[in-house]
Amino acid sequence: MRGSVCLMTKEQRQWTADRIPELDGRVFVVTGANSGLGLATTRALVRRGGHVILAVRDVEKGHQAAVDAAAGRPGAEPEVRHLDLADPDSVQAFADGVRADHAHLDVLVNNAGVMALPRELTPWGHERQFACNHLGHFALTGLLLDLLAAGRDPRVVTVSSVNHRKAGLDFDDLTGERRYSPMGAYNQSKFANAVFGRELHRRLTDAGSPVRSLLAHPGYTASGLQMKSSSALQRFLLGRVGNALLAQRPKQGALPQLYAATEPGLEGGLFIGPSGAGELRGDPKEVVLAPAAADSATGRRLWELSERATDVRYAFPAAV
């Protein structure tokens, strides 16, 4: 048995946001919090009393999302802070700002993502999907780890995808210079999320840190990402047809990451996803990580590459 997930009864598996415990005094950072899964996650946390820092690229939309989330909890005052995960300077500035105003964090939800973009390199030479979805979250987590270690029941929840099982890491061509497909690069970035979450768990455990690393994925959720694909065919098939016929709403899709972030007693290293057929929809449960994503050699290699790419070195604080 690994945590409470394996022993759930049928009734317990029907987990909704109403079962989140009261979160008064707990501080959460949610990346990509202004829409889709991030907004659904923020709403649920705020309505249970959590203080949420919305980490967003578009501050105006972030403020609108904060007003939306606070409507369900009188007296709630979510924070909005700018964060561009593809920009190392923005990641550093965000972390510095949070540290200046908060003595601790309790949970970091690495939720933000981009999907199926045309090939583009950031000014730092990284493929944009890999930079936004993985490298930015790697750097952010490392820069906030000491604040998390000071938190209560501290956790890092990294959002991957069921598509991580379709991918690997081409360490010799991470920029897609030799071969590139928008969806293939997305799948690779989600595989990197999975590898990172598991490798972070190993390192936290070895250090005796109080922080736990968990992974989650939302199944097939109409989050808005599908309509931002560079392919008109994918926008039609995944966005219009798939979202209308197959996808669950963000409120449901956010449940695995909410469960991973808030359910008492969960162990580090768990991967939480939907319980339905193909893990496309359904109530949250423990699911299986692709064996390749759990490979320790791959984890070490990605970690070392990410350190070089971001210039962020983790200091693993031990339990006090």
Question: According to the model, what pLDDT value does residue 14 have?
Answer: 86
Confidence band of 122 (pLDDT split at 50, 70, 90)? very high
107's CB contacts (< 8 A; 6+ apart) are 26, 27, 28, 29, 148, 151, 154, 155, 156, 157, 261, 262
Mind listing the domains of the chain with CATH numbers? 14-310 (3.40.50.720)
The residue type of 186 is Y
Q: How far is CA 24 from the centre of its chain?
A: 22
Q: Can you tell me the distance from the alpha carbon of 157 to that of 111, in angstroms, rounded to the nearest whole number? A: 8
Give the three-state DSSP class for 31: strand
Question: According to the model, what pLDDT value does residue 5 have?
Answer: 46
Q: Which residue among the candidates 186, 220, 259, 314 is catalytic per the annotation?
A: 186
pLDDT at residue 163 is higher than 80: yes
- Each residue's pLDDT tens digit, 277-308: 999 999 999 999 999 999 999 999 999 999 99
Question: According to the model, what pLDDT value does residue 318 have?
Answer: 55
- Each residue's pLDDT tens digit, 183-196: 999 999 999 999 99
The residue type of 223 is S
Provide mean pLDDT across the span 224-237.
52
Q: How far is CA 260 from CA 17, 127, 196, 220, in A?
A: 12, 29, 16, 18
Task: Please say if 186 is a catalytic residue.
Answer: yes
Confidence band of 35 (pLDDT split at 50, 70, 90)? very high
- Each residue's pLDDT tens digit, 248-276: 999 999 999 999 999 999 999 999 999 99
More confident residue, 7 or 318: 318
Provide mean pLDDT across the span 75-94.
98
Q: What is the 3-state secondary structure (H, E, C) of 80-148?
A: EEECCCCCHHHHHHHHHHHHHHCCCCCEEEECCCCCCCCCCECCCCCEHHHHHHHHHHHHHHHHHHHHH
Question: According to the model, what pLDDT value does residue 222 have?
Answer: 87
- Each residue's pLDDT tens digit, 65-76: 999 999 979 999
Question: According to the model, what pLDDT value does residue 72 have?
Answer: 75
Residue among 126, 143, 161, 179 nearest 274 (CA): 161
Handedness of CA 86, 90, 92, 95 (dihedral sign): negative
Query: What pTM does this model have?
Result: 0.90
Handedness of CA 286, 35, 17, 200 (dihedral sign): positive
